[in-house]
Structure 1
């Protein structure tokens, strides 16, 4: 599937809608004799057209039949903006130091002396939630049309809440029968054969034809996918004494791994080692009253006792490290029953950033709701959003309906415009797991979403240290949904020129490439239920990178400058030399050898691993 524009443009939709209305008015005298007065409105809502459907039940899911009669769901209805490109245009201008656009700098003290508005680059001029809401607001005709449709189906106005400038509607307490009528759907219970996760979904849904140009997506509908990236652990290994690695070791006592090659490691990657490897060891955060890291969690809670054990062993100056918890979508916090992923994500980030503040988002993956939209809606309505957010979850892009994925991606763009750096793990299956055969027998590499969203920073994995090598598990490839963004054009084109015709037809050469950057992803220690264990995967490298980005944000804030926000335009531009280029390793999958790490960007390690000291010298 190649990238394409979904649905009608707003202007075209309005024109066709108005033309249709004019046609009915001209012939109204003839219609009145045959159709009741309310027949015109009724027929408008009954003229349905499919929005999205699956031909068969997605892999690893099976139907359990109809849900209980009293089952209720919350529907999320995303409306298309009146100004289609306003959000992304603003994101590009704010996030790219090379962008030529200027804005007025309204500092009163300067205006007194200059007598004219002073101009500066728009880079870093992040927007408030109110200004973002203005950018994404739907046309008034869209709002009126959608509310008329809901009213026709007797949806109570009291059950509808509106956020993000009217672009996002949440309809609470919708019965299954009412949802089926609204969406021409057939909701059933589906269970995941491997995780036993049970959800309420439909294999297809429709909307009235007149709404297709106005509604981006409705959820939960056809998104049948476990939200979970496999949490990988391995047995504890004994430590090996350090040998010289070409750098002066930090003053703090630390056991460093010897030179390692490939994915067979014999030592652990501790916080002290990571801080030495990525040059953050000498930096002491100073903007801790303003800077914060957000950690998203879908599986269990972190344990403060495990965090203390981790910090006592690996970051002795931070044994008082703590965090706050935000409950989202009915999320729960039970530190006595911690989750492995939650523990690892929080501990690895805290180990890099102490004493920076952390907030853990406990998000309930509700069977009757949508976890991404619920979380993004909750975060974007807040006045204050963390400067860095790390997420170690995702799934294959092809399992997400395209219009749904595009809506989620644009919500991440809203976070970027607000000044938040959003990082996602690129996956742990290389270019794809198994034989990667589609229903028609063709083979296609399978990149991970949301990592493929061009408005987040995707993090891959490395191993070894002298030099670092691309980890074989590192998810990488090219999106089938999102075109290659402008900031990637030169870097990705160079890689594709070197690749030639290898794997032709197995990936989309015009798609957004992942990952963007990488970090250590193998032999990562953390504490779980009072015991030390070892983790591996990009779900480990992502919070590590988030810690480094948070330190850069701390430096920015300490200098009176704005946070970095959306990172990629800077990374692929002025920050390009702030990375350790990884030139060996590969990410096999789909019964192939996968891509290879080479000089420059590659779909194994991206631009490379971050060098903190180099990166902050390139800050604007």
Structure 2
């Protein structure tokens, strides 16, 4: 997943809503400066939405694949039209610069002076202490929703988020047994390099917290050295700057694009966080069919004490954003999210010394409404002889891996440890009940029962390689690790499965998590079972707490990594 920091640790991009130590307050924001905030309106019929999504995503249901329109799902959950109009009209009368009514969310762009007066808050400029060019406007203190609309508003997003910027970790010319390039991934998982891509199949690489840089010259170099078609990003949403490429965006675009072959590629940048992205996505015409999000942060820390005020809490933020994820799944899009790069202790306990919470969750990676992706690595043992004539030019300069044995991706052998565990907030969905029950009956050693909730959603669902990737960055090649690598790769595989269905006149897979477990139940060999390793280590320490890989699903690598031909064969049986 993404870790935004100046030390590269390519994994998970992480952020913190409350940690302000990286930011210096620079004084009151100028009154005329414009910012955008979102009023989340109270929704209805949420039980109907969940029931409907689980039905149309169940491969055994007569309604399988009957995805809804964005208008249908919004109409289902939005408050009465007169309520959203009342809220929007009030904000317009108060003098907001721009008011957009999306029925269950009202988006407002207004000057600082208006927001301070309307919400009874104070806004300040904050400058990042190391990336001094990064300046944001945030509130310091509480806010109050006007009494005229308070009963209809759950919370206001966009006032208190403080990103904790850390970069993905990389190494240049590291001494490893073999590197991962697209050629290795195609060969390991049996993905045909001539797969017939449908013109409407699409993949979207999403970057958060104003991370917006990949370089097109690097894409050319990557394609040339790997003897693949150069990835062309045909849709860009949000700011883009290729002048100073960063590791996260570069990895996503190079590997998501390469493994997806000629699939239509979107690049989407979001200044803020998940709720903001989800609500904008739902109001985009003809959105992409597959979304890869290599970002996350512990569920209970989405909004910490000191920055969330009034009624807004981390639980509320997660619950509300999960509703938006359900809506996205219902309209025909597959969401994938990384499971984390700090093992089971996670970013809640990176130094392995917490007695209160030694195990961590992740959001959105622990959401029941995304396909959660963990990471594996190849053993150092060469298990087959490579055909030099088949290798791309990059393998002449960098030794490409020829191993076919996958293990849990873990420190110290790797730069990261794959995340996994159980959600703090979300109940275990029915689609994974059998797989998780089998894990608990397997006899594998478990952490203390008081440290995790066995009745909640287990993650990840699946995995893919996440160690020793080579990316072209600023004219050279660097090694990167993380679930930031495995997530776009699995997203590309979903895009290929969508191409098959679209080529045969069928709808896309959309909310594909139940499908994964139904495929696993029908034939476990559809996935390579990862049974060696654990996720007890963070980048700083190894804990006595964590989970061990075992036969079948586990909260380390999920059901395993894909055998593409078998997964495709299962999809070919679906209506």
2: CA distance, partners of 1:518 / 1:581: 10
What secondary structure sits across from 1:454 in the alignment?
Answer: coil
Matched, 1:543 2:488: yes
2: CA distance, partners of 1:189 / 1:360: 28
Deviations 1:367-392 (A, max 9, x none): xxx34344333322222111111122
2: CA distance, partners of 1:269 / 1:376: 32
Which residue of structure 1 aligns with residue 73 of structure 2? 132
Q: CA deviation at 1:499?
A: 5.4
Matched, 1:357 2:230: no
1:64 corresponds, among 25, 34, 45, to 25
8 A Cα contact 2:29 2:124, kept in partner? no
Q: CA deviation at 1:353?
A: 1.9
Which residue of structure 2 aligns with residue 246 of structure 1? none
Which residue of structure 2 aligns with residue 273 of structure 1? 184
1: CA distance, partners of 2:361 / 2:67: 30
8 A Cα contact 2:421 2:460, kept in partner? yes
1:1-80 to structure 2, matched below 5 A, reads 58=19, 60=21, 64=25, 66-70=27-31, 71-80=33-42
Matched, 1:90 2:27: no
Which residue of structure 1 aligns with residue 397 of structure 2? none
2:423 corresponds, among 470, 473, 479, to 479
What secondary structure sits across from 1:127 in the alignment?
Answer: coil
8 A Cα contact 2:447 2:547, kept in partner? no
8 A Cα contact 1:60 1:192, kept in partner? no
1:302-381 to structure 2, matched below 5 A, reads 302-314=214-226, 316-319=227-230, 321-328=231-238, 331-332=239-240, 334-363=241-270, 365=271, 370-381=272-283
Which residue of structure 1 aligns with residue 508 of structure 2? 563
8 A Cα contact 1:82 1:139, kept in partner? no
1: CA distance, partners of 2:96 / 2:456: 41
Residues 586 and 443 of structure 1, relative CA distance in 2, 3 Å threshold: same
1:229-244 to structure 2, matched below 5 A, reads 230-237=167-174
Which residue of structure 2 aligns with residue 607 of structure 1? 559
1:187-336 to structure 2, matched below 5 A, reads 187-190=123-126, 198-199=135-136, 200-207=138-145, 214-226=152-164, 230-237=167-174, 265-281=176-192, 283-287=194-198, 289-298=199-208, 299-314=211-226, 316-319=227-230, 321-328=231-238, 331-332=239-240, 334-336=241-243
8 A Cα contact 1:223 1:399, kept in partner? no
Residues 338 and 185 of structure 1, relative CA distance in 2, 3 Å threshold: same
More moved, 342-351 vs 500-509: 500-509
8 A Cα contact 1:390 1:546, kept in partner? yes
Which residue of structure 1 aligns with residue 386 of structure 2? none
2: CA distance, partners of 1:440 / 1:343: 34
Which residue of structure 2 aligns with residue 592 of structure 1? 543
Q: CA deviation at 1:208?
A: 6.1
Q: CA deviation at 1:161?
A: 0.7
Q: CA deviation at 1:450?
A: 1.3
Q: Unpaired runs of 5+ in structure 1?
A: 1-55, 100-120, 239-264
Q: CA deviation at 1:274?
A: 0.7
Which residue of structure 2 aligns with residue 30 of structure 1? none
8 A Cα contact 2:65 2:508, kept in partner? yes
Q: CA deviation at 1:406?
A: 2.2
2: CA distance, partners of 1:547 / 1:268: 20
Q: CA deviation at 1:78?
A: 1.4
Q: CA deviation at 1:609?
A: 0.6
What secondary structure sits across from 1:574 in the alignment?
Answer: helix
2: CA distance, partners of 1:201 / 1:506: 34
Q: CA deviation at 1:501?
A: 6.0
2: CA distance, partners of 1:62 / 1:352: 38
Which residue of structure 1 aligns with residue 306 of structure 2? none
Q: Unpaired runs of 5+ in structure 2?
A: 1-16, 303-313, 379-402, 411-416
2:338 corresponds, among 411, 425, 432, to 425
Which residue of structure 1 aligns with residue 396 of structure 2? none
Residues 434 and 510 of structure 1, relative CA distance in 2, 3 Å threshold: closer
Matched, 1:491 2:491: no
What secondary structure sits across from 2:454 in the alignment?
Answer: coil
Residues 506 and 344 of structure 1, relative CA distance in 2, 3 Å threshold: same
What secondary structure sits across from 1:544 in the alignment?
Answer: helix
Computing the radius of gyration from Cα coordinates, the structure with the larger value is 1
What secondary structure sits across from 1:564 in the alignment?
Answer: coil
What secondary structure sits across from 2:519 in the alignment?
Answer: coil
Which residue of structure 2 aligns with residue 412 of structure 1? 325
1: CA distance, partners of 2:354 / 2:182: 47
Which residue of structure 1 aligns with residue 448 of structure 2? 503
Which residue of structure 2 aligns with residue 446 of structure 1? 360
2: CA distance, partners of 1:222 / 1:511: 28
Deviations 1:244-288 (A, max 9, x none): xxxxxxxxxxxxxxxxxxxxx41101211111111113652241x
Which residue of structure 2 aligns with residue 617 of structure 1? 569
Q: CA deviation at 1:296?
A: 1.4
What secondary structure sits across from 1:85 in the alignment?
Answer: helix
Which residue of structure 2 aligns with residue 244 of structure 1? none
What secondary structure sits across from 1:81 in the alignment?
Answer: coil
8 A Cα contact 2:291 2:491, kept in partner? yes
* TM-score normalised by structure 1 residue count: 0.74
Q: CA deviation at 1:422?
A: 1.0
More moved, 447-456 vs 536-545: 447-456
What secondary structure sits across from 2:518 in the alignment?
Answer: coil
Which residue of structure 2 aligns with residue 250 of structure 1? none
2: CA distance, partners of 1:595 / 1:135: 40
Matched, 1:383 2:285: yes
Q: CA deviation at 1:459?
A: 0.8
1: CA distance, partners of 2:201 / 2:258: 16
Deviations 1:4-25 (A, max 9, x none): xxxxxxxxxxxxxxxxxxxxxx
8 A Cα contact 1:418 1:565, kept in partner? yes
Kindly indicate whether structure 1 or structure 2 has the higher relative contact order, using CA contacts under 8 Å at least 6 residues apart: 2
Q: CA deviation at 1:297?
A: 2.7
* TM-score normalised by structure 2 residue count: 0.80
What secondary structure sits across from 1:267 in the alignment?
Answer: coil
1: CA distance, partners of 2:233 / 2:94: 40
